[in-house]
A and B are shown apart, each in its own frame.
Chain A
Amino acid sequence: MRKPRSTALIFGEANQSSALIERLGEHFIVEQFDETNTIRRYFDTFDWRLYRAKRLFYAGADTISLCTLNESPVGRAAAAPAESYFWWDIADSPLAEWLAPIIGVRALIPLFSAQLSTACYRLLNKDQKIVVRVEVETTVVDGVDGDQLHMHGVSFEEVRGYDEQYDTATSIGAACGGQAPAQKASRFINGLSVSGRTPLDYTSKFAIALPPEIPIGRAVSAIFLDLAGTMKRNHDGVMNDVDSEFLHDFRVAVRRARSLLSLFRKVLPEAECDWFQQEFKWLGSVTGPVRDIDVYLLARQHYSTMIPASLSGGLAPFFDELAGHRKAHLSALRGALASQRYQRLHERLHEFCTHEESPLFTEMRAGRCKKLVDELILKRFKRFVRDGGAITDDSVDEVLHRLRINGKKFRYLLEFFSSFYAPEDMSRFVRHMKKLQDNLGDFNDLSVQQDMLLGKLDELSGRGKRTMKLAAALGGLIAVLADRHRVVRGEFNATYAAFATEQNIPKHPIAQVHGHR
């Protein structure tokens, strides 16, 4: 059976839609039965996770809704208004199920608000029977520059069996100047255009494409400026503690900067290099403690399921204590990011990267960057394969940790300069590399976590019930982690072997550059 139709038309002017209602009155009895005024606040994560998944989220006075980009509903739930939403804030609503896999640990933060006024009409025939339903909707969005954006839309809804009347009404709509909305011109996209943000204007991926002929100094400058930009963009989110990923992305940018300095150490001016290295190290260390705690707090649910429910209750004081420490560390972190030292780091970096007299742009660093990178990749890769291949079941943990760090540095190197190489080769290689790195990363995380929990256990004193329960829970957790640690370690050799097969090696970018290893 055919579904009743519906159409939405866009009008340029408010008076066109009022003229429409008048014209409809010549054919139907027009009855207005409802008028609503609502504020609709649109949200997304800072890195546009919903937009990427072709979804929209908005909050009304007491509801939240998830819909497609052209605003057809996916789900809706009652919820009190909030400044931001994590999926777990609305865990008991059906929307959480949709949101969780898309937004993960990120918060939905406001993009812009729209004021919506809707007037609902029904068109009746001579028997006073409803034959078409019509909604006139005006949307007003306040732009960042003080301008207001007005949008006028009219939607028509067919009543089953009254097709002729529907056709009449919609053709009157078109005759009054109504136009089918362009796919890309939804209320959301239009509203966004005056809000000061552009879809996908932030991604945590490193995404600059350096031209293959770029000189060393210019490449370093471009990369540093991008990384400094990432730090600045995440600054407010870190200060306001919006979600854990602002700090995470901030720290990744710092690590990338440190990697770049160390990879290019030989070709960069020594004094500057040392100074920046020291300052970024400082930045890494002042941002570390909060992130370390975040890792545990984010894993809270997971930890609780790793041990029997009879034990997991005992962990509460552990997490409470962490949350307390976090507060203190966060205020120290805020202090650091508000300090002159931090300010100075950015100023000097900016100067270093943009002043034409900067040592970056001297003759010494005018050589083709790609030549240097080719060599670096080859050297780093050889070292990685040599170290990895030397690892046996008896090797100490230290060796694996070092391999992980070198692997990470190597991956940053590939990411910085991926535009120099064929994208297919690059992505295939990075994919193979990722499996190995996941193994090494898991191994490291499990080591660190075990150490931390053991440390906590050592600190415990007294014989109170709470302490005993906590000790039991920590003990249980450590046992499970130790077990996984063993398993992950056991998987290393097979994972490494899969990575270092002869089929994989010739496909990596070095093969493109230098032939065979």
Chain B
Amino acid sequence: MQLYHKPMIICAVYSSKGGVGKTAAAVNLAYVAAHGGQKVLLCDMDSQGSASYYYRIKPKKRFNRARLLAGEAESYIRGTDYPGLDLLPAHFSFRKLDVALNDRGIKTGGSALVELFAPLAREYDVLLLDCPPNLTVLSEHIIVAADFIIVPVVPTTLSILALDQLLKLMRKLGCRRDKLLAFFSMVEKRKSMHADIMRKYSDHPIFLSSAILYLAEIEKMGITRRPVGAGTGRSLAASYYQALWQEIELRSGS
């Protein structure tokens, strides 16, 4: 019996831009957190189901959007191959989660998602959401429901622009600005634009100091179908994600 329980934290890995390393981050941060002893649930919110794919998990036949919204998520959670790490798989029907959530609307100071996630706090220390790349009602719900919004930023001018838009949206939704934790993703040191942009923004308070380099190891996850830290040898990529998670934990005050 634990005498006290730290409240569960919800981290959404989000960006309106596609292909910036959200899923790679969500999959690996979830692994690193569980490896460090926390009970973690990775929620695959993207109907494409990439995170589920990396963990070799398919949803049960009866699972769909309606069941998720009816608060039955718990029954569809599946254990990954790794201790302390479970996954709520994506379903094709999640692509219309938007529409369904729109009907419920965003209440002041809350979201329908908050209620859906609340019961999971009995089981998990950390909820990591892998979000689809768009700016929709679903994104707004997630932004409101999450304690932290972790944004991978490929160091390009357009990405910085997108980050700016996100901050505006957060202001509109009445979210605290310090919920946003950005990190540089898929960094290629030899590209001068990457280096310039990182130099310019790295001291900005919303940026974490850990960055994730562009590494073949991460790219190969599509073939290995497991987080980078789960292989047999020592993994450089794993230690980057490890450092990133430590910094996020530090910011979350735990």
**B-contacting residues of A (Cβ < 8 Å)?**
1, 4, 127-130, 159-162
Contacts and interface: CB of A to CB of B under 8 A. Distances in A.
Given A1-B77, A127-B57, A129-B81, 12 more contacts: A1-B74, A1-B122, A1-B123, A128-B56, A128-B225, A129-B57, A159-B79, A160-B77, A160-B78, A161-B76, A161-B78, A161-B79
B81 A161 contact: no
Contacts of A162: 78-79
5 contacts: A1-B122, A4-B79, A127-B57, A161-B77, A162-B79
Contacts of A161: 60, 76-79, 86
A1 B86 CA distance: 13
Nearest to B226: A128
A159 B78 contact: yes
Contacts of A127: 56-58, 225
A67 to B, nearest CB: 17
Contacts of B56: 127-129
B160 to A, nearest CB: 39
Contacts of B79: 4, 159-162
A159 B122 CA distance: 19
A127 B87 CA distance: 16
A205 B57 CA distance: 61
Contacts of A4: 79
A1, A4, A130 — most chain B CB neighbours (10 Å): A1
A160 B83 CA distance: 11
A158 to B, nearest CB: 8
Interface in B47-70: 55-58, 60
Contacts of A130: 81
Interface string B112-148: 0000000000110000000000000000000000000
Contacts of B58: 127
A404 B130 CA distance: 77
Which bracket fits the contact residues of B?
10 to 19
A466 B78 CA distance: 68
A161 B87 CA distance: 10
Nearest to A3: B123
A300 B56 CA distance: 61
Interface of B: 55-58, 60, 74, 76-79, 81, 86, 122-123, 225
Contacts of B86: 160-161
Interface centre among A127, A129, A130, A161 (most CB of B within 10 A): A161
A161 B76 CA distance: 6
Contacts of B74: 1
Nearest to B81: A130
A4 B80 CA distance: 13
Nearest to B119: A1
Contacts of B57: 127, 129
B192 to A, nearest CB: 42
Nearest to B59: A161
Contacts of B81: 129-130
B247 to A, nearest CB: 30
A4 B74 CA distance: 13
A441 B251 CA distance: 63
Which 7 residue pairs of A and B lie closest in terms of their CB atoms, listed nearest first?
A161-B78, A160-B79, A129-B56, A159-B79, A127-B56, A130-B81, A1-B123
B163 to A, nearest CB: 36
B223 to A, nearest CB: 12
Contacts of A128: 56, 225
B62 to A, nearest CB: 12
A287 to B, nearest CB: 47
Nearest to B63: A161
Nearest to A159: B79
A159 B82 CA distance: 10
Contacts of A1: 74, 77, 122-123
Nearest to A130: B81
A127 B56 CA distance: 6
Nearest to A125: B56
A159 B78 CA distance: 7
A132 to B, nearest CB: 11
Nearest to B89: A161
Contacts of B78: 159-162
B74 to A, nearest CB: 5
B3 to A, nearest CB: 15
- Listed residue (B58, B74, B81) with the most chain A CB atoms within 10 angstroms of its CB: B81
B178 to A, nearest CB: 32
Contacts of A160: 77-79, 86
A160 B225 CA distance: 19
A104 to B, nearest CB: 26
B164 to A, nearest CB: 40
A127 B123 CA distance: 27
Nearest to A157: B79
A349 to B, nearest CB: 54
B121 to A, nearest CB: 11
A159 B57 CA distance: 12
A74 B43 CA distance: 33
B140 to A, nearest CB: 28
A128 B56 CA distance: 7
Nearest to B76: A161
Contacts of A159: 78-79
A238 B228 CA distance: 60
A1 B71 CA distance: 13
B239 to A, nearest CB: 25
Nearest to B120: A1
Nearest to B57: A129
A130 B56 CA distance: 9
A162 B122 CA distance: 21
Nearest to B122: A1
A214 B160 CA distance: 100
Nearest to B88: A161
Nearest to A122: B81
Contacts of B76: 161
A329 to B, nearest CB: 48
Contacts of B77: 1, 160-161
Most chain B Cβ neighbours within 10 Å, of A127, A129, A159: A129
A248 B221 CA distance: 68
B36 to A, nearest CB: 20
A5 to B, nearest CB: 12
Contacts of A129: 55-57, 81
A162 B77 CA distance: 9
B31 to A, nearest CB: 15
Contacts of B225: 127-128
Nearest to A127: B56
Query: Which of B60, B79, B225: most chain A Cβ within 10 A?
Result: B79
A9 to B, nearest CB: 22
A161 B42 CA distance: 14
B122 to A, nearest CB: 7
User: Max chain A CB contacts within 10 Å: which of B56, B74, B76, B225?
Assistant: B56
Interface core residue of B58, B76, B122 (most chain A CB under 10 Å): B58
A129 B77 CA distance: 15
